[in-house]
Structure formats: structure tokens, C-alpha cells
Amino acid sequence: MKNYIIHDPWCIIEDRFRPEHNEFSESIFSIGNGRMGQRANFEEYYSGKTMQGSYLAGVYYPDKTRVGWWKNGYPEYFAKVINAVQWIGIDIEIDGEKLDLATCDIRRFERRLDMKGGVLYRTVVATMPNGRTIQVETKRMYHLFQSDTASLQYSLQVLDADAAVSVTSYLDGDVMNRDSNYDERFWEPIAEDIENDLVVVSETKKTKFRVEARLRHVCRIGGTEQSAGNKTKRRLYTGESWTMAVKAGEPICIEKYVAIVSSMNHPLDKLAEVAMDSLRKITSKDYSRLMAMQAAAWARVWAESDIQIEGDVAAQQAIRFNIFQLNQTYTGEDARLNIGPKGFTGEKYGGVTYWDTEAYCLPFYLATQDPHVARNLLLYRYQHLEKAIDNAAKLGFTDGAALYPMVTINGEECHNEWEITFEEIHRNGAIAYAIYNYVRYTDDQEYLMSHGLEVLIGISRFWAQRVNWSAHKQQYVMLGVTGPNEYENNVNNNWYTNRIAQWCLRYTLAVLEQERTKRDDRLTALLVKVKFKDEERKRWQHIIDNLYFPEDRERGIFLQQDGFLDKELVPVSDLPPSVRPLNQHWSWDRILRSCYIKQADVLQGLYFFEEEFDEETIRRNYDFYEPLTVHESSLSPCVHAIIAAKLAKEEKAYAFYLRTARLDLDDYNNDTEDGLHITSMAGTWLAIVEGFAGMRVRGGKLHFQTFIPKNWLSYAFHVQYRGVKLHIRVRQDGFEIKNLSDCEISIIFNGEPISVSPERKS
Ligand code: BGC
């Protein structure tokens, strides 16, 4: 764990340079705008520990798979959202020596991420080996108001003496991925231009994404703009240098404005024009105007998604950090994009889509954005249905059965560990559940007919083929799976997977029936299209009625899988801290045999299908499984926080909240240097809204069942629901509900039905 981020309600601050943790800080201070983003790398050259990372949403490379032993069915490649053109670079030389903070004596250092205004600031005072003391102040933005552009302001002073300074501002497209499987470079040069703007045009190998980066910059000394400097270009690089004599304390200011556009969004022959136009729009304004526009764009986001917590600044900072990062990663404008577990903050997980999106992120976007944002997340999977059917066919499934990939960017499977690729099939269920969740929340029945049902049929067909009839049990069983708890592989009858499969078959049949009664011609057309046979209905019903679920009647619990009780059941609290996290200390063999659970598994099912179980059943299962859970997936604490809140285990719920909320800020799992856990950040939001405020949708109505942690004075949030926007504030001694829309809404609040008129107070 680390504990050095200074607590502040709106800012993330570090006030000292810790070179050994620089990669951690680079992750924490990452910024982006949904279209692109970047780790908080320094502008100037840095020879210390750093991971360079600038990413463009959807621009990926299929990196050839690397595995020890090939297994039939493995994908040929792992698609990665790759490190892209680096536009921030500014090399500085003072009295003939290159500025490199790794070699300096750092006198003062501060990084500050202003989440309200969407600006990253840095201040450094440092003495170089040649004795020169410099001060650097920077501001950097990925513009939310114009997402193909970004800008920075870099100000440098030599404090102690007059000096000869040389500054080179550049674009560098010759970048690599640290995790490249074969140390391959993914970019090829197309053109470099230094005539007017600095331009680098490059293209990804194989996928042929063409990217044009166009940079305009100015260099001023004490307010006077320097005339053109010395321009250079080479393969994938363009730069301009100025050499000048400055007086002690005289500020040199460099402003850099960049437009980065790609063939993903524009025709090849229009790239230059679009980049020029985008650049013109931002360079026609001065920097303070751009900052005001950025603040206004972020103000609109905060107006919908902020959560205010009074009385606990650590919790306040943390929830805002999570919300900020989610909004930086995905804005919902483009159904080809999705939410990578690391967003734009690192390479791990390749920047592509996991079940995390459907299981964890969807509710956040549903409640805080216009419904088209969540719909686009569903459409992403709809567009991949054909590929999911091909993917299942590769594994031997037939007749339109669809298995969505564990990891994907374009619909094809990228993951290559058999126990996950072939066995962690519960992900298919989460995609069906997201359709249900979306329709339940928005009442967009139309989506079911136009897109959802087709996906549900494909997924149901998969489940119907994946189970087999056990003559011994005289029931259907599901063998050889990995549940959400990846610390168990190749198990039989994972309760959660069986449950979500059964639910999915039942829901698909219910939707088929519902649509049949509407006599919509589109249903007939769809059933013809997917070659649906009536026997399928019967078989599905038979599976629903005869699926086996492992349970222990004596303890009154569901068993995570067959044989779970044969394990030696020693609670996590008995483990010495020196062996945690287990995945960094124990052999895989030992982990697999142990009783320790990586993340919610049975409890994930009880969370999704809460209404099907009475509270005592949920309590018994929670009391059995929680003490065995190590939460070594970032996705785990939030589900536990929600269930603990429901069971009125308030201290536990709060502890889980803090763990999920400050997971990255305090580096709980010791892995934030790889990038932030973006998808679990939605879980933090869930922990407050579904956990503490107990929000649910039941029977088409919003329900709340609230509690407030002891040390909070109040918390408040907005939710959008079917055209109504509510602002809810929970205090220690009561609550307020405001209806910020035009129409009345009936809700159930702490068990009482209430009708909330526009702007009414309770
Ligand atoms: C978790 C998975 C998750 C993945 C990406 C893994 O550690 O076990 O459930 O999908 O991370 O976040």
C-alpha cells in the first residue's frame, strides 16, 4: 500500500517526487477524454523509471499470441490498444546539459490533478548536476469539448543565473509497447512534414489504422514570441528547436496544441483536412479560454455524475477520482468503443473489453448519462454477435450458439489461457444480464425486439449445448468451467455459472413469449433469420427445470462448485500478512487447492438475482464466503459492500467501500503502476448508490433503502431514470429528494411509497 496522495475534495495531489514510485504516479495522474488519453509522463527527457503511454481509443494492433503450449481454439493474436504518437515531448538543454529530473536534486515537486477543471498541473524546482536551478510549471489537458485535441503549457525559468537554453518541442511516433509479445514495433511511417505545423502520419501494421498527429506550438520569452526555430524531421519524428540566452528568472513559455485524428473516424483523404480544422478551432483561442471551455465541459459532467460526501475528505476525493476516470475513459458517443480495464492509463489487459463492462460499468452509465450511452455499450456486443457465433463454432458449438470472448476489441477472442478462454464462460451470462438490466432500467422494450433478443437467443443456444445430461444425477450438469473466482479452474457445476445460465434461458423464453403476444412481424422475421426451432423452447425449459445446483443443506448455503467443502476451510484472517496478495506469494497449485476466493462468485449471483432469495439465505452465504475471500480482483470489494449494506453490516460495508474507492489512490493491490482499475471504479459508484443508498429497480419503480456511514455528515448524488432526474441527499438525521425534471415520479424510499413532484423537499 502507499499512502502519500494528499486528501483534498477536488484535487489529487502529490507534494514530493518519489522516483521509485514514478510509474504509480504516472498511472494516478493519467488524463483523457474518451477518444484518447495518456499516462502522466513528463514533457522533458527522463532517464528514470517511467512507462511511456499515450493511447487512442479503438486503435489497436493484433499482437501475435505467445504461449508455451498451443491448444486448439487459442486465438492467433491478442488485440492491444497500443502506445501511440507522443506529442508532449519537450527536450531542454541548459548551459549544454540536458535536463533530466532523474539526475537532479529536486527541491520542490508537486503534481496536481484538478478534477473539477480537467487540468493536470506540475511544478518542479530542481538543481541540475551543472549547478543550474530551474523551475518548471506545466498545465496539460485532453479536451473534453473537442476530443481529437489536447494541449499543454510549459513554463521554464532558470532561477539562479543567466543561461544558454535550448528547447526542442516535438512529435514522436516511434513508440513501442512494453508488453509487445515479440518486441515488435507496431507503427510504420507514412509521412513527416515540417512546413507549417509539425506533422507525423503513421499507420499500424496489419490493422492499417492511419493516424495523423498535427502539432502547432509557440515559444515565448518573457511574453515575446520567438520566430521559427530550427526544424528537423526523421522517420516518425518532427521537431523544432530554439536556442536562446535568458536572464535569471526570465520565463520561457512553450504552448503545444495537437490534433490527433485517425482513419477509424475519417476517410484517409480527409485526415489532413480534419486535423487542420480541429487544430484551427483550438489555436484560435488563448490558453485561458481553452481552460474555461474545459472547465465548462467538466462542469456538465459533474452536474450529472458527482457524488458529494460531507465529513470524510478521503472518501470524497476517492469517489470523485473514480467518477472522473470513468468519464475520461468512456463518453458513449461511439458504439465501436468500450471500457478497457485500464482505460488509457496502462498497457495491461490490452485496453480491450471484458465482462467488467456489462457486470460493473453499465449501471453507472445508465444512471448518470443519457440512455444512448448505455445502449451503445449493448450495441457493441450486438455488432459482435456473428463473431461470437464463429467463436463458439471454433470450440465445436453449432446452430447459432454464441460464446462472447473473454477479451476482445473487434469481437474475436484474444485471451489465451485455456482455463479462461474456454472455461470462464459465465461472461456470456453477464452480457445477457446487461440487456435485462438496461431494459429494466430504461423500459426500452424496443431494444429487445430490434437487437437484444437476437443476442439472447445466441447465448441461450450456447448454454443449452454447454450443459450435459448426467445419467447418474438424472439432472443437467455443467462440467469444466471457471467461475468469476479465477482461483479455481476447471471445476464442475460452478453455482454462479449454472445459475446465470438457467436465468438466461428463462429470460430468453420470457422475452420470446412477451414478443409473441405483441404479434410483431419482426419476431417472425427474426425467428426465420436465426432458424429458430420450436424444439429449442422445449429443450430450454427442460434444462431450466432440471439443472443441478450444488448446495449444502445443513449449512444452508450454495456451494461454489462440486466438492468445495472438501477444502481445508481456514479464514483469510488466519493468514499471515506476509503471504498476501496470494498471487504474488503462493504457487498457482497451492492457490487452486486452497479455499481462498479471488472475488465474489456465489455472492455475485446473489447480487444479480437478489430478488430470488430471502435475506437469511443471502446472509448465510455471505457469512460463509466473505471470510474466505481475498479480494485480489479489484472487482470484488464493491459487490461485498453492496451485500454487506443490504444485510445492515454497516461497518463492513464502509470498509469495503474504502477499499474499492481508494484501491488505486492508496495502491491496495500493489499493482497501480501498471495502470488504474477503471472498470472497478464503476463498482465504487455502485457501492454508494446501490450499497449505502440501496437503489434498486423493482416492478418498474426506483427503490431506495438508505444508511449513512457513522463518520459522514451526508452524501448526495443524482440519478437519471426514465426521463426524470433526481437529486438525493442522505443526512444522519434525514434525507432530501429533489426532482430536477418536469414530471412527477413515484418511488419507494426506505419502505414508504412517495411521489416526488418537481423540486419538492421531504
Ligand atoms: C478478474 C476478472 C476481470 C479481469 C479484468 C481479473 O483479475 O478476475 O474478473 O474480468 O481481471 O478486470
Residue 368 pLDDT > 60: yes
| Residue 267: other Cβ atoms inside 10 A | 10
| pLDDT confidence bin for 385, thresholds 50/70/90 | very high
Q: How confident is the model at residue 350 (pLDDT cuts 50, 70, 90)?
A: confident
pLDDT of residue 349: 84
Note the helical H segments in 360-489.
362-368, 371-383, 385-394, 418-421, 426-442, 445-447, 453-466
Q: Which string of b and e fits 233-259 if b means at least 16 CB within 10 Å?
A: beebbbbbbbeeebeeebebbbbbbbb
8 A C-beta contact, residue 517 and residue 441: no
**pLDDT per residue as tens digits for the range 679-699:** 999 999 999 999 999 999 999
Is 676 near ligand 1, meaning CB less than 6 Å away?
A: no
Q: Is 600:495 a contact under the CB 8 Å cutoff?
A: no
pLDDT of residue 587: 98
Per-residue cell: 38 = 495518456
Q: Is the pLDDT of residue 761 over 50?
A: no
| 759 contacts 739 by C-beta, under 8 angstroms | yes
Between the CA of 153 and the centroid of ligand 1 the distance, in Å, is 37
Q: Do domains 37-277 and 370-630 have the same CATH topology?
A: no
Q: How far is the CA of 633 from the centre of ligand 1 (A)?
A: 6
Taking residues 717-746, report their average pLDDT: 96
- How many A from CA of 37 to the centre of ligand 1? 22
Contact 394, 467 (CB under 8 A): no
Provide the grid cell at 616.
437469511
Ligand 1 pocket mutation, candidates 345, 354, 413, criterion most atoms within 8 A of CB: 354
pLDDT of res. 759: 82
For a substitution probing ligand 1, which of 348, 584, 591, 635 has the most ligand atoms within 8 Å of its CB? 635
Q: Is the pLDDT of residue 575 over 80?
A: yes
pLDDT of 610:
97
**CB of residue 351 inside a 6 A radius of ligand 1:** no
**355 CA: nearest ligand 1 atom:** 10
Confidence at residue 352, expressed as pLDDT on a 0 to 100 scale: 86
User: Residue 762's pLDDT is what?
Assistant: 45
Give the rounded percent of residues in the chain with a pLDDT score beyond 90.
Answer: 96
Ligand 1 pocket check for 485: Cβ under 6 Å: no
Q: Which three cell numbers stand for residue 538?
A: 422445449
At residue 670, the pLDDT reads: 87
Q: For residue 334, is pLDDT > 50?
A: yes
- Banded pLDDT at 361 (limits 50, 70, 90): very high
pLDDT bin (cut points 50, 70, 90) of residue 732 is very high
Stretch among 184-198, 340-354, 372-386 having the lowest mean pLDDT: 340-354
Ligand 1 centroid vs 231 CA: distance in angstroms? 46
Compute, in angstroms, the gap from residue 66 CA to the centroid of ligand 1: 20
Atom of ligand 1 nearest to the CA of 356: 10
671 lines ligand 1 (CB under 6 A): no
| Helix axis angle, 678-686 to 636-646, nearest 10° | 10
Q: Is 679 in the pocket of ligand 1 (CB under 6 A)?
A: yes
Distance 663 CA to ligand 1 centre (A): 15
Query: For residue 662, which of 643, 642, 644, 676 has the smallest C-alpha distance?
Result: 676
Going through 184-287 in order, the beta strands assigned E by DSSP cover: 187-193, 198-204, 210-221, 224-225, 230-234, 237-246, 252-262
CA atoms within 13 A on the CB side of 59: 30
In which band, very low, low, confident or very high, does the pLDDT at 9 lie, cut at 50, 70 and 90?
A: very high
Q: How far apart are CA 361 and CA 382, in angstroms?
A: 17
Which residues belong to the annotated binding site for substrate?
355-356, 598-599
> Mutate which of 339, 356, 677 to test ligand 1's pocket (most atoms within 8 Å of Cβ)?
356
Cα 449 to Cα 187, 435, 518, 523, 525: the distances in Å are 42, 11, 11, 7, 11
Cβ atoms within 10 Å of 610's Cβ, excluding its own = 16
What pLDDT digit, counting tens, does each position of 153-187 carry? 999 999 999 999 999 999 999 999 999 999 999 99
Phi and psi at 149, nearest 5°, equal: -135, 160
Pocket test for ligand 1, best of 425, 633, 664, 671 (most atoms within 8 A of CB): 633
Q: Establish whether residue 486 lines the binding site of ligand 1, counting it when its CB lies within 6 angstroms of any ligand atom.
A: yes
- 484 Cβ below 6 A of ligand 1: yes
Q: Is the pLDDT of residue 357 over 50?
A: yes
Closest atom of ligand 1 to 406 CA is: 10
* 323-332 per-position pLDDT tens digit: 999 999 999 9
604 lines ligand 1 (CB under 6 A): no
**CATH number at 370-630:** 1.50.10.10
Residue minimizing CA distance to atom 9 of ligand 1: 484
Please indicate whether residue 354, judged by its CB atom, sits closer than 6 Å to ligand 1.
yes
Q: Whose Cα sits closest to atom 11 in ligand 1? A: 633
Ligand 1 in contact with 221 (CB < 6 A)?
Answer: no
Give the integer Cα–Cα distance in Å for 295 and 143.
Answer: 10
| Cα 505 to averaged position of ligand 1 atoms, centre (Å) | 25
Average pLDDT on 35-54 reads 98
Cell representation of residue 68: 508455451
- How confident is the model over 133-144, as a mean pLDDT? 98
Residue 632 Cα: closest atom of ligand 1 = 7
Q: Measure the CA dihedral 639/645/650/655, to 10°.
A: 20
Closest residue by Cα to residue 330 from 343, 317, 311, 320 = 343
pLDDT of 369 > 50? The answer is yes
The residue whose CA is least distant from atom 5 of ligand 1 is: 341
> Residue 760: is its pLDDT beyond 70?
no
Average pLDDT over residues 462-484: 98
Predicted local distance difference test score (pLDDT) of residue 142? 98
Extents of the domains making up the chain = 37-277, 370-630
The pLDDT of 292-315, averaged and rounded, is: 97
37-277 folds as: Beta-galactosidase; Chain A, domain 5 (2.70.98)
**Is ligand 1 within 6 A of the CB of residue 497?**
no
Grid cell, residue 143, equals: 479536451
Confirm if 340 and 81 have CB atoms less than 8 A apart: yes
- Please say whether the beta carbons of 707 and 735 come within 8 A: no
- Does the CB atom of residue 100 touch ligand 1 within 6 A? no
Q: Quote the ligand 1 centre to 178 CA distance (angstroms).
A: 21
Q: How far is the CA of 598 from the centre of ligand 1 (A)?
A: 10
The dihedrals phi and psi of 757, each to the nearest 5 degrees, come to -85, 160
Q: How far apart are CA 72 and CA 58, in angstroms?
A: 28
Catalytic residue positions, numbered: 486
Q: What is the pLDDT of residues 388-418, one digit of tens each?
A: 999 999 999 999 999 999 999 999 999 999 9
Give the per-residue pLDDT at 128: 98
Q: Count CB-CB contacts under 10 A for residue 265.
A: 16
3 state SS of 751:
coil
Q: How much is the pLDDT for 520?
A: 84
Ligand 1: which residue has its CA nearest to atom 7?
633
> Is the minimum distance from the CB of 274 to ligand 1 under 6 angstroms?
no
- Residues 6+ positions from 440 with CB-CB distance below 8 Å: 697
pLDDT tens per residue, range 584-618:
999 999 999 999 999 999 999 999 999 999 999 99
> Which residue ranges make up the annotated binding site?
355-356, 598-599
Average predicted confidence (pLDDT) for the chain = 96
Atom of ligand 1 nearest to the CA of 485: 8
Q: What is the pTM of this model?
A: 0.96
